[in-house]
Structure 1
Amino acid sequence: MIRNSLLGCIFLFSTTAYAGAPVYFTNEVDKKYRALIKHVREMLPSTERQLAYLPSFYPFSLLDVRPTKLNKKHLRDFSNFNFGVFGRALLNIDKKQLSNLPSIAICKEQKCKNDRIARIEQFLKDSAEEIKGISKSDSLLIVQQTTPNVYRINNTFFSPTQLITYYPSKHAGFAPSGNYKISTPEQSPDMMVLAQASQKLRSIMAKHNVAAITKAADNSINVIFGGLGDNHWGVVLYSKATTPNSGDYNHIGLEYDIVQKIIRPQLLLSNRLERVMTRLCQSEI
C-alpha cells in the first residue's frame, strides 16, 4: 500500500514531437552546440552497427540533450532537432527509419494503455519509500540509468572508473554540454554519496525498465519509463497543479495531448482512495 505522503495526484503521460530547425540558434548558441557535437564525437567511437548508440538517446541519457535556459516552445522544438542531428550521425539508419523511431512511445490501443498503467502501479508499490525520499531531497534532481554501472545523477554521468560532470552552457543552457569536468570516484566523494543514496532506487528502476526520474521546480516528480526525442511516457507524482489540458507543457517543454482520468482501487493512500489522473498523449512526427 502506498502511503498518503507518496503522492497527491498522478497522471500517466506521453509527449509529442515536432519537426523543424530551431529559430533561436544565435551565433553563441550555435558555437556551444558545435562544442557539444565535438565532445560527443570524442566520447563515442565510430561504428557501422545500426542502432548501437540507441540507449544513449533514451530520456536523460548522454544524447538526450536538454536546454535549461529556453522558453517552453523552444524546448519542445529543440528536442526533436537534437534527436535528428545525433540520430543521423550515430544510428546508421535511413531518414525514414529515423523519423519513425520516436513512435515507439506512442500508445493508442486501450490494452496498451492498461498495460502501462499496470506497470506504473507495480513500480509505485515497489519504490514507495525511495520516491518519498526523492520528494524530500534537495540533492537528487535527476536519476537516470543505462546499466547498473553507467548512470546519471543530476548533471554527472557515472561509470566504474570516471565521472563526467556537465555544466549548462551560458546561452541556451545545454545539458550535457561541451563544458565538463572529468574526475575519478575518489576525487568526487560528494557525488559518490548521491550514488550510494540512489542505489536502491536505481535497482528498482532497472527491475521495472524505468529510464529516468526527474524532479521539477514545483517538486513534482516525473517517472519516465521510455521514449525518444519528444515522445516520452510515464507518470507524474506530487503534482500540485490542476489536471493539464491538451497543449499544456511539462517542466522540460514537452507537450501533452490526450487526457484520460481513472480511479484505481489499487492506489489506496492511508486507507482512503486518492484521485488518480491518467494522461496519455501520442503524436507522430
Structure 2
Amino acid sequence: MIRTFLLCCTFIIATSAYGNMPSYFNEDIDSEYRELLKHADKMLPETNKQLAYLPSFFPFSLLDVRPTNFVNNNDKQAFANFNFGVLGSRFLNINKKQLSNLPSISICKEQKCKKERIKLIKQFLVDSKSEVEMLRQNTNIYIVQQTAPHVFRINNTFYSPTQLITYYPSKQAGFIPSGDYKLSKPEEASKMLALSEVTKALREVMTKYNVAAITRVNEESLNIIFGGISDNHWGIVINHKSTIPTSGDYSHIGLEFDIVQKVSDSSFYYQTN
C-alpha cells in the first residue's frame, strides 16, 4: 500500500515538474498509463542506488515506453519526454536537475564526435554484415534490443534467464510495454526461444559495439540505434530506398531528426533531439 501511494505521488510530482497532464491523454489513456506504472513498480525492485535502472531507459528497453497508436509525431515526441520525466523521477534516484540533463549524454554536436560515431558505425556494419542481413530477411523479427547478454528484447517479448514477458499494446494508446502482458517460463515458449537462438550471433556483435537496438523501418530498411535516452537517439538507417531525410523530418518512430549525414547512397547517420 505504501509503495502504491508513493508511486501515485511520484506520478503527480513528475507531471507537475514536466508540465500538465499531456493534452493527448484522455481518461482511458490515463488509466492505461497508471496501470503501466503499477506494473513497472512490481517488476523493478526498490533500490536507493543512483542510476541503477538507467539501462532500462535505453531505446526499446523496459522503461522506454512507446505509444504505438499515436499518429501525431509531436505527440509521440512529447510523450517520450513525459514518460522519461515520470519514470525517471521514480526509478533513477537523482534530483530533478540531474534528471533533466541526463538525455544530453546522447547528444553530439561537435564534428570530431560525429566522425568518431560514424567510424564506429562503419566498423559495426562490416563486423555484423551477415547477421544484419539475416535480420533484414527474417520478416518475423522487427525489434532486437539488448540490455545485457541474458536480458534482451525480441519484438514485444522481453527475455531473461528465468522468464519471458510478452506485452500486448494497450487498447487506446497502444503502449508497449503496457499493463497487458503474459508471463512464460523458457521451457513453455519454444517459438520465442527459437527467435532467441536465431538472433544470438547478432546480439553478441551488438554487445561488442554497444548497440542499443535494431528496429525494422519497412521491408528493406533497418534503423540501428547505438544509443539514446527519451527522444534523443543516434544511429544509422541502412537499406534506405527513398530520399535521404533532412533536419526537421521525423523518424519512423516519430522523433525529429536534428542531424542527418549521408553515409552511402542507401544509408544515413542521424541524431534526434
TM-score normalised by L of structure 1: 0.86
Whether the 8 Å contact between 1:19 and 1:80 is mirrored in structure 2 is no
1:23 matched to which residue of 2? 23
1:191 matched to which residue of 2? 192
Whether the 8 Å contact between 2:236 and 2:270 is mirrored in structure 1 is no
Distance 2:132 2:224 in 1: 10
1:52 matched to which residue of 2? 52
Count of residue correspondences: 255
Whether the 8 Å contact between 2:136 and 2:220 is mirrored in structure 1 is yes
Distance 1:123 1:19 in 2: 39
1:246 matched to which residue of 2? 247
Identify if the C-alpha distance between structure 1 residues 277 and 160 changes in structure 2 by more than 3 Å, giving closer, same or farther: closer
Give, as a single letter, the amino acid of the residue that structure 2 aligns with 1:63: L
Matched ranges for 1:37-116 at <5 A: 37-71=37-71, 72-116=73-117
Give, as a single letter, the amino acid of the residue that structure 1 aligns with 2:110: E
Distance 1:155 1:282 in 2: 23
**As a proportion of its length, which structure holds more helix?**
2
Identify if the C-alpha distance between structure 1 residues 21 and 115 changes in structure 2 by more than 3 Å, giving closer, same or farther: farther
Q: Secondary structure at the match of 2:223?
A: strand
The CA deviation at 1:276 is 6.0
Identify if the C-alpha distance between structure 1 residues 20 and 207 changes in structure 2 by more than 3 Å, giving closer, same or farther: farther
Whether the 8 Å contact between 2:255 and 2:272 is mirrored in structure 1 is no
Whether the 8 Å contact between 1:19 and 1:77 is mirrored in structure 2 is no
Q: Secondary structure at the match of 2:166?
A: strand
The CA deviation at 1:228 is 0.2
Distance 1:183 1:29 in 2: 27
Larger mean Cα displacement after TM superposition, 20-29 or 203-212 = 20-29
1:168-199: per-residue Cα shift (whole Å, max 9, x none)?
Answer: 00111000000000001111100000000000
Q: Secondary structure at the match of 1:258?
A: strand
Larger mean Cα displacement after TM superposition, 77-86 or 236-245 = 236-245
2:10 matched to which residue of 1? none
Distance 2:248 2:83 in 1: 21
Identify if the C-alpha distance between structure 1 residues 73 and 218 changes in structure 2 by more than 3 Å, giving closer, same or farther: farther
Unpaired runs of 5+ in structure 2? 1-17
Identify if the C-alpha distance between structure 1 residues 209 and 103 changes in structure 2 by more than 3 Å, giving closer, same or farther: same
The CA deviation at 1:90 is 0.8
Distance 1:28 1:282 in 2: 30
Identify if the C-alpha distance between structure 1 residues 141 and 20 changes in structure 2 by more than 3 Å, giving closer, same or farther: farther
The CA deviation at 1:278 is 4.0
Q: Secondary structure at the match of 1:281?
A: strand
RMSD over aligned Cα atoms: 1.6
The one of the two structures with greater contact order (alpha-carbon pairs below 8 A, sep at least 6) is 1
Unpaired runs of 5+ in structure 1? 1-17, 263-273
Identify if the C-alpha distance between structure 1 residues 36 and 66 changes in structure 2 by more than 3 Å, giving closer, same or farther: same
